[in-house]
């Protein structure tokens, strides 16, 4: 159990941040033990050959693979510095990673169990050069394993933040924090995170909290208590369907609205972007936009801006139509 001090005043400094670096690190953990992350097996099967060919899964030659052990092994905090803002910027995150103080790198490497591979030994001896090499590995991993699927991943993260913001507005901080994950609860002046075998220190007086929705952290949560601001990475809503094939349309609803519009309503079980709707329904982005315009005019869909994205969601009337037709 990790306790993060979170008084009523500190709650005012709780913020959300999406992070490409978190997705890289959590994705490596998925590849380390795919059986614990069954939802991501389709993704793991696709990307593992690419990464192996690029030498990014070599425990002796690379840095990323030995630094990210299977759960519940210790994950060095310098791998995931707090993201600066809501929108992910991998280049900015990697600049922060490269700027990690050498003494912090060495102190965290000392916490890793077992013999130190040669690559980690070189990182320990020369953290500045080693961090530059690590950043290059992260960029290569991103290009091969995350970037091809980033639009759908980003859509899930956007939708989660949209939902959590509405939950915060409706139910306050308690409603938000106690709905993040079954292992997380806000009790008194502390956020309690239940993690077996966790050696992270408690944070008696928190200066706020960064909440990081993640696709690859599922089904667990990961907390980082080092540094000025603690972080909690939690599974984003909708991750269970992220690798699904395009959705079909309820026949009865399709007969009334047309199959394209019925498909869109079926896919809008959570707020989604035009790009994500196109992927899920098999419709072109232009076709999705045209149908959404008609559905908005009919009062069946609303569209709101979330960061740089425009997310559409069903209205209560549309929810009733979908339920009645299935």
C-alpha distance from residue 112 to each of 118, 131, 133, 150 (Å):
14, 17, 19, 31
Are the C-beta atoms of residues 108 and 134 closer than 8 Å to each other?
Answer: no
Residues 121, 262, single domain; the answer is no
Which of 224, 240, 256 is the last residue in one of the domains?
240
Residues 137, 193, single domain; the answer is yes
C-alpha distance from residue 146 to each of 27, 149, 305 (Å):
8, 6, 24
Q: What pLDDT sits at residue 6?
A: 63
- The range of the structural domain enclosing residue 110 comes to 2-240
**CA-based max dimension of the chain:** 68
Q: What pLDDT sits at residue 190?
A: 72
Q: CA 211 to CA 233: how far, in whole Å?
A: 6
Residues 76, 210, single domain; the answer is yes
- For residue 308, give the CATH number of its domain: 1.10.10.10
Outline where 126-258 has alpha helix (H): 127-141, 150-177, 251-257
Residues 200, 67, single domain; the answer is yes
Residues 233, 262, single domain; the answer is no
Q: What pLDDT sits at residue 207?
A: 61
Residues 147, 98, single domain; the answer is yes
Residues 80, 28, single domain; the answer is yes
Q: What is the pTM of this model?
A: 0.75
Are the C-beta atoms of residues 242 and 156 closer than 8 Å to each other?
Answer: yes
Give the tens place of pLDDT for each residue, 101-149: 999 999 999 999 888 999 999 999 999 999 999 999 999 999 999 998 8
Q: What pLDDT sits at residue 202?
A: 46
Which of 193, 215, 240 is the last residue in one of the domains?
240
Q: What pLDDT sits at residue 88?
A: 77
Show Cβ contacts of residue 271 under 8 Å, excluding neighbours closer than 6 positions.
158, 159, 162, 163, 304, 306, 311, 312, 313
Residues in the chain, pLDDT under 70 = 1-12, 195-207, 225-227, 245-250, 307, 326
Residues 232, 253, single domain; the answer is no
Q: What pLDDT sits at residue 39?
A: 92
Which of 225, 240, 255 is the last residue in one of the domains?
240
Q: CA 26 to CA 288: how far, in whole Å?
A: 32
Residues 271, 139, single domain; the answer is no
Q: What pLDDT sits at residue 15?
A: 86
Interior angle at CA 275, CA 152 and CA 240, nearest 5: 30
Residues 131, 177, single domain; the answer is yes
Residues 231, 258, single domain; the answer is no
Closest of 236, 224, 218 to residue 179, by C-alpha: 236
- Grouping H, G, I as helix, E, B as strand and the rest as coil, residue 313 is strand
Closest of 318, 273, 274, 316 to residue 295, by C-alpha: 318
Give the tens place of pLDDT for each residue, 223-261: 776 667 788 889 998 888 788 765 556 677 888 889 889
Residues 316, 216, single domain; the answer is no
Interior angle at CA 57, CA 60 and CA 210, nearest 5: 105
| Number of domains within the chain | 2
């Amino acid at each position: 159990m990790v306790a993060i001090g979170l008084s009523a005043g500190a709650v005012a400094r709780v913020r959300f941040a999406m992070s490409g670096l978190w997705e890289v690190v959590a994705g490596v953990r998925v590849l380390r033990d795919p059986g614990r992350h069954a939802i991501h097996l389709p993704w793991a099967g696709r990307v593992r050959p690419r990464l192996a060919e690029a030498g990014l899964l070599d425990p002796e030659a690379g840095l990323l693979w030995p630094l990210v052990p299977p759960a519940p092994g210790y994950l060095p905090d310098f791998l995931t510095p707090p993201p600066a803002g809501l929108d992910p910027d991998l280049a900015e995150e990697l600049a922060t990673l490269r700027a990690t103080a050498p003494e912090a790198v060495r102190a965290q490497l000392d916490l890793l169990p077992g013999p130190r591979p040669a690559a980690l030994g070189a990182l320990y001896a020369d953290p500045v050069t080693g961090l530059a090499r690590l950043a290059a590995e992260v960029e290569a991993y991103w290009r091969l394993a995350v970037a091809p699927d980033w639009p759908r991943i980003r859509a899930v993260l956007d939708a989660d933040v949209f939902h959590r913001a509405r939950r915060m507005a409706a139910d306050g901080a308690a409603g938000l924090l106690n709905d993040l994950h079954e292992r997380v609860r806000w009790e008194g002046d502390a956020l309690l995170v239940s993690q077996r075998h966790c050696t992270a220190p408690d944070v008696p007086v928190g200066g706020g909290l960064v909440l990081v929705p993640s696709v690859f952290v599922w089904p667990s949560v990961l907390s980082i208590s080092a540094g000025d601001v603690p972080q909690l990475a939690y599974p984003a809503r909708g991750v269970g369907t992220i690798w699904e094939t395009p959705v079909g349309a309820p026949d009865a609803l399709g007969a009334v609205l047309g199959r394209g519009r019925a498909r869109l309503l079926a896919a809008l079980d959570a707020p989604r972007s035009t790009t994500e709707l196109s992927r899920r329904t098999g419709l072109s982005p232009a076709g999705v936009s045209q149908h959404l315009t008609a559905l908005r005019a009919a009062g069946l869909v609303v569209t709101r801006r979330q960061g740089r994205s425009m997310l559409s969601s069903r209205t209560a009337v549309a929810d009733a139509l979908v339920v009645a037709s299935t």
